[in-house]
Amino acid sequence: MEGIHSHVTPVRWRGGLELLDQRALPHRLQWLRPRRMGEAVRLIRDLAVRGAPAIGIAAAYALAQEARRSSSLARLRAAAARLAAARPTAVNLRWAVERVVAAAAEAPPTGRAAVALATARAIHEEDAAACRAIGREGAALFPGQVALLTHCNAGALATGGIGTALGIVRVVHAQGRLLRLYACEARPVLQGARLTAWEAIQDGIPVTLLPDSAAASLLASGAVQGVVVGADRIAADGAVANKVGTYPLAVLAHRHGVPFVVAAPRSTFDLTCPNGAAIPIEERSGEEVRRLAGVRVAPRSVAVFNPAFDVTPPELITAIVSEHGVARPVTAASVRALVG
């Protein structure tokens, strides 16, 4: 199992934070080196790095850079607040920056930079381990030869390891049981088309891309045996905020008797958030829908509804998989037992 890996990684530390620019994929492999805090915040907001675990790791390294620049705790806390506000839905981001700040606060001023970097490295390594555990636990939920459907990108590009949902897919594939991965393109930003399809091809996973609106036909056809997605935040009752388009997949999977599995590390759970209605949903610019790759595809003046995420209620989720095991059925009690 330890042999399963991915050829791609979204965040690395080479004497400083480096981010693979996911906005340029699948066209160009380009590493960015944001040295100033404002740059890091902007790159997180502009989706150069995305995926709840990956932005947590990136933000942790950004704070390590900040701690190297100044031993001021007030300054570190201000930077943490700016990073956390860049993407309000993903709770890993807030969790990661709070962990780095707390560790730095325990250290003497001269040791803060080293402690902040060590904490960021630990967050990164723990996430890689969590992905492996999630892959193993989740793969066991889909016995036999299976085709799996996923949405957006919950892969290596979204994490510090082999991915959460795609971690499960990679383990099933390594076991010789994956018939095919189906990937919804995930308009408006097309993380499925640009990232999941690319990542799957890099690692030799058989993949078929589809428009989001064709997933219903695919589920109705009986061609897939499971849906696997990631999460940006999981509330105490098991409600899951994830990329917009996840909730309709859950409704359709339920209608067609296809298991719907959410995969996420412990850091994605927010037990202070009682339910789905309490999760803030980021609304993004209408230009993401009016344009693509600089090309206008709709009238300039048209109003746009562009929520980045939606909320799937627990009763539609077959199981939630974390590195600690599986919550099934998904209830407040099973979520608490899993990660409480």
Angle (CA) 245 170 262, round 5°? 35
Q: With beta carbons less than 8 A apart as the criterion, state whether 107 and 73 touch.
A: no
In this complex, which beta carbon is closest to a second copy, that of residue 81 or of residue 220?
220
Among 209, 266, 274, 282, binds a second copy (CB under 8 A): 209
3-state secondary structure of 182: strand
Cis peptide before 307 (omega within 30 of 0): no
3-state secondary structure of 324: coil
Among 290, 323, 327, 339, binds a second copy (CB under 8 A): 290
In this complex, which beta carbon is closest to a second copy, that of residue 118 or of residue 304?
304
Residues from 222 through 261 that contact a second copy (CB under 8 A): 244-245, 247-248, 251-252, 255
27, two tokens: 């066209």
Residue 100 φ/ψ, nearest 5 degrees: -65, -45
Alpha-carbon gap, residue 42 to 127, rounded angstroms: 23
Nearest approach in angstroms of CB 21 to a second copy is 16
Q: Does 280 bind a second copy (CB under 8 A)?
A: no
Residues from 11 through 50 that contact a second copy (CB under 8 A): 26-27
Alpha-carbon gap, residue 50 to 109, rounded angstroms: 32
Q: Does 210 bind a second copy (CB under 8 A)?
A: yes
In this complex, which beta carbon is closest to a second copy, that of residue 72 or of residue 208?
208
Among 11, 154, 218, 263, binds a second copy (CB under 8 A): 218
Q: Does 198 bind a second copy (CB under 8 A)?
A: yes
Window of 40-48, 187-195, 228-236, 325-333 that interacts with a second copy by CB under 8 A: 187-195
In this complex, which beta carbon is closest to a second copy, that of residue 237 or of residue 310?
310
Alpha-carbon gap, residue 255 to 222, rounded angstroms: 12
Alpha-carbon gap, residue 220 to 61, rounded angstroms: 44
Site size toward a second copy, by CB under 8 A: 55
Contacts with 18 (C-beta within 8 Å, 6 or more apart), sequence order:
11, 12, 31, 32, 33
Choose, from 232, 237, 270, 310, the residue flagged as catalytic.
232
Q: Which of 240, 201, 221 is nearest to 318 (CA)?
A: 240
Q: Does 216 bind a second copy (CB under 8 A)?
A: yes
In this complex, which beta carbon is closest to a second copy, that of residue 122 or of residue 210?
210
In this complex, which beta carbon is closest to a second copy, that of residue 217 or of residue 333?
217
Nearest approach in angstroms of CB 316 to a second copy is 10
DSSP letter, residue 237: T
Q: Which of 272, 338, 268, 337 is nearest to 309 (CA)?
A: 268
Q: With beta carbons less than 8 A apart as the criterion, state whether 117 and 149 touch.
A: no
Nearest approach in angstroms of CB 245 to a second copy is 3
Q: Does 179 bind a second copy (CB under 8 A)?
A: no
Residue type, 293: A
Contacts with 285 (C-beta within 8 Å, 6 or more apart), sequence order:
306
138, two tokens: 């989740």
Alpha-carbon gap, residue 319 to 201, rounded angstroms: 27
Active site residue 212: no
Among 85, 220, 333, 337, binds a second copy (CB under 8 A): 220
In this complex, which beta carbon is closest to a second copy, that of residue 145 or of residue 213?
213
* x/- track of binding to a second copy for residues 134-153 (CB under 8 A): --------------------
Residues that bind a second copy (CB under 8 A): 26-27, 182, 184-188, 190, 193-194, 197-198, 201, 206-218, 220, 244-245, 247-248, 251-252, 255, 281, 286, 289-290, 292-299, 301-307, 310
Catalytic annotation, residues: 232
